[in-house]
């Protein structure tokens, strides 16, 4: 496996379900990110982890709960979601001290909330 | 509020028809302007970083330029494989936090 891998690629859940999105990076990076992408809207930054510590929580509702157990893995735990939470959830990683500002994205998890 | 605004929202070109995409930003003290390409069903892929007004970067048929208020992505003699959504972003603080524009959907027809 190389790059940034996200699972599952597609997820359908009811509003009362609990599910998790997983992200794994094989690039040796020290920062990981969750972004939300809704149709015709800009990518919205949700959470940033640097060296496994959360450094940004962008006013995200508590029904989204991130977890970063180590520098290679990032989870997004989902519970009691709303239909408007349906979107593509993108994970990214980067080397924080790199001056290129380049983020490496996974292919995303397409979430549908019924 | 600091924003990144991209135009047009969508662009249709014939193969070989050159054009430019625009990205304007409202923050002073820019700490980096970034261009990404996103194919359907995929995550964004990094293209360019620009830091200073007057700076230019090139890759194949793409050239990115930067002024004090906006950036352009010039596409010369595009091919159908250049069809994608092009995203512009600026750095918004430490930890490589990026604020993205809504993107320009480019379709190049043979």
Which of A9, A87, A103 would you mutate first to test chain B, the one with the most B CBs within 10 A?
Answer: A103
Q: For residue B40, what pLDDT band results from cuts at 50, 70 and 90?
A: very high
Q: Which residues in chain A are contacts of B98 at CB distance < 8 A?
A: 43, 45, 101, 103
Two structure tokens written together for B73: 């992505």
Cβ distance of A100 and B44 shorter than 8 Å: no
Q: What is the pLDDT of residue B36?
A: 97
- For residue A101, pLDDT over 90 is answered with no
pLDDT in tens, B67-106: 988 999 999 999 999 999 999 999 887 888 899 999 999 9
Please check whether residue B45 touches A, CB under 8 A: yes
Please give the average per-residue pLDDT across A42-67, as a whole number: 90
Q: What is the pLDDT of residue A85?
A: 96
Q: What is the pLDDT of residue A16?
A: 86
pLDDT over 70, % of chain A: 97
Cβ distance of B96 and A104 shorter than 8 Å: no
Q: Which residues in chain A are contacts of B9 at CB distance < 8 A?
A: 40
Please give the average per-residue pLDDT across A50-56, as a whole number: 85
Q: For residue A1, what pLDDT band results from cuts at 50, 70 and 90?
A: low
Nearest by CB to A55, from B87, B89, B95: name it: B95
- For residue B29, pLDDT over 80 is answered with no
- For residue B48, pLDDT over 80 is answered with yes
Cβ distance of A43 and B46 shorter than 8 Å: no
Segments of B1-110 assigned E as strands: 4-7, 10-14, 19-25, 33-38, 45-50, 56-59, 62-66, 70-75, 84-91, 98-100, 104-109
Q: For residue B60, what pLDDT band results from cuts at 50, 70 and 90?
A: very high
Q: What is the pLDDT of residue B2?
A: 61
**CA–CA distance, A19 with A88 (Å, rounded to integer):** 15
- For residue B37, pLDDT over 80 is answered with yes
- For residue A95, pLDDT over 60 is answered with yes
């Amino acid at each position: 496996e190389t790059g940034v891998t996200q699972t599952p690629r597609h997820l359908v859940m009811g509003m009362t379900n609990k599910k998790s999105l997983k992200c794994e990076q094989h690039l040796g990076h020290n920062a990981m990110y969750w972004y939300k992408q809704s149709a015709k809207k800009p990518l919205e930054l949700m959470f940033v982890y640097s060296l496994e510590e959360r450094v940004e929580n962008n006013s995200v509702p508590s029904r989204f709960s991130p977890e970063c157990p180590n520098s290679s893995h990032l989870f997004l735990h989902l519970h009691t979601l709303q239909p408007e939470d349906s979107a593509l959830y993108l994970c990214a990683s980067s080397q924080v001290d790199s001056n290129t500002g380049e983020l490496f994205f996974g292919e995303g998890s397409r979430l549908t909330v019924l | 509020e600091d924003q990144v605004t991209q135009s047009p929202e969508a662009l249709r070109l014939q193969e070989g028809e050159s054009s430019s995409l625009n990205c304007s930003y409202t923050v002073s003290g820019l700490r980096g302007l970034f261009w990404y390409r996103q194919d359907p069903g995929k995550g964004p892929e990094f293209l360019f970083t620009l830091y200073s007004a007057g700076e230019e970067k090139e890759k194949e048929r793409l050239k990115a330029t930067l002024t004090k208020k906006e950036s352009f992505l010039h596409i010369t003699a595009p091919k159908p494989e250049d069809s994608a959504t092009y995203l512009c972003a600026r750095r918004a603080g430490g930890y490589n936090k990026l604020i993205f524009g809504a993107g320009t959907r480019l379709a190049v027809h043979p």
